Amino acid sequence: MIPGLVREAKALAQAARFQHPCSDAVGHLLQVLAASVRQGVVAEIGTGYGVGASWIASELDPAVQFYTVELDAQRAEAARRVLAPHQNVHVIRGDWHDILEYGPFAMMFPDGGQAKMKEPQTVIESVQPGGVIVLDDMTPGGPVKGDPQREFWLSSPDVVSIELQLSEDEAAILAVRR
């Protein structure tokens, strides 16, 4: 089932012809993981129009603070409007580094920008020990060797991780900080 909040964010993204909103497969994974966070702070990098954030917010405990950051002012404002009913959700307009001051995070979804590829160690260090990092946009069955992102996330000594196939054409990596 797709929550109403997610449907609203998806409609905004579609109206704006936004190319890469969070898929339903990844959204359901985010929803399940968000439901398990009972304390701490959750973060998302790359809000877009708030589709991924809406999946997270739909199951997040109201006592858990959630920060999501978007570089584009128009997208950030649109997401802020969609997520306004959730008092614990904060949309920040800025560079992804701006979100780091709110950590350490119990859960991190570095969706947009270059954080997960260019500064993966910074992403890991922003998460508390035992915290979860969700990395999407993977093609199932891709080789680890020769794929710098998979090589890093599946072999880093700082996380324990696994790649999960979410659909016929989509996979994600779940990493837990040691």
Residue ranges per structural domain of the chain: 4-177
CA 110 to CA 16: how far, in whole Å? 22
Distances, alpha carbon 47 to alpha carbons 22, 65, 156, in Å: 10, 15, 26
Give residue 78's pLDDT.
Answer: 97
The number of beta carbons lying within 10 Å of the beta carbon of residue 72 is: 16
Residue 153: closest CA among 105, 110, 107, 117? 117
Arithmetic mean of pLDDT, 34-60: 97
Arithmetic mean of pLDDT, 26-44: 98
CA 45 to CA 37: how far, in whole Å? 18
Give residue 48's pLDDT.
Answer: 97
CA 33 to CA 145: how far, in whole Å? 28
Mean pLDDT, the chain, whole residue set = 96
Beta 127-138 vs 89-93: how paired, if at all? unpaired
Give residue 142's pLDDT.
Answer: 82
CA 15 to CA 10: how far, in whole Å? 9
| pLDDT tens digits, 74-118 | 999 999 999 999 999 999 999 999 999 999 999 999 998 789 899
Give residue 37's pLDDT.
Answer: 98
The number of beta carbons lying within 10 Å of the beta carbon of residue 46 is: 23
Confidence at 174, pLDDT banded by 50, 70, 90: very high
Give residue 114's pLDDT.
Answer: 84
CATH number of 4-177: 3.40.50.150
Distances, alpha carbon 138 to alpha carbons 29, 115, 120, 151, 165, in Å: 14, 15, 16, 12, 9
Residue 136: closest CA among 120, 112, 157, 155? 112
Tokens 């950030």 found at: 76
CA 165 to CA 174: how far, in whole Å? 11
**Contact by Cβ (8 Å): 37, 61:** yes
CA 144 to CA 47: how far, in whole Å? 28
Give residue 143's pLDDT.
Answer: 83
CA 33 to CA 27: how far, in whole Å? 10
Max Cα distance, the chain (Å): 44
| pLDDT tens digits, 111-157 | 987 898 999 999 999 999 999 999 999 989 888 888 999 999 999 99
